[in-house]
Structure formats: C-alpha cells, structure tokens
Amino acid sequence: MENQYQVGDIVCSKIAPTVPLIIMSHLSRIYYCQIKENPTHTELAYFERELMPFVATASPE
C-alpha cells in the first residue's frame, strides 16, 4: 500500500482545516506532522484518514 502523502507535503486535519501541517515522517498509515507556523511545537500524529490536502483560502476584502 502506498502512502497518500509524502514527507514535506502541506496538509491539514479534517477537524482543523485552517491550520497547515507539514508531513515530517510517516510509518505505515500514521503521519507525524508539525504545525507550519509553529515548528517548535511537538509533532502531532494523525492517521491518513484524518488528513486532507491543505487549500489556502484568500481572505475576504
């Protein structure tokens, strides 16, 4: 089975779609991510099914 996301991909969790995460590593179907704006924060672990591609939205003017 091939992983859906690769190291370095920008994703977000389904429960917090406005927070971009960077894939740091993966083991089987568990992805270890860092919050893009806070790289000193502890890495977060997600199952593949909990992630989705990050889509930046333009701020309304």
How many Å apart are CA 26 and CA 49, to the nearest integer?
13
Residues 15-54: b if buried by 16+ CB within 10 A, e if exposed? eeeeebbbbeebeeeebbbbbeeeeeeeebebeeeebeeb
Q: What pLDDT does 39 receive?
A: 84
Q: What pLDDT does 15 receive?
A: 95
Q: Are 14 and 47 in contact (CB under 8 A)?
A: no
C-alpha 11 chain-centroid distance? 3
Q: What pLDDT does 2 receive?
A: 79
* Every domain of the chain and the residues it spans: 10-53
How many Å apart are CA 34 and CA 23, to the nearest integer?
7
Tens-level pLDDT at each residue, the chain (61 residues) = 678 999 999 999 999 999 999 999 999 889 999 999 998 999 999 999 999 999 876 555 5
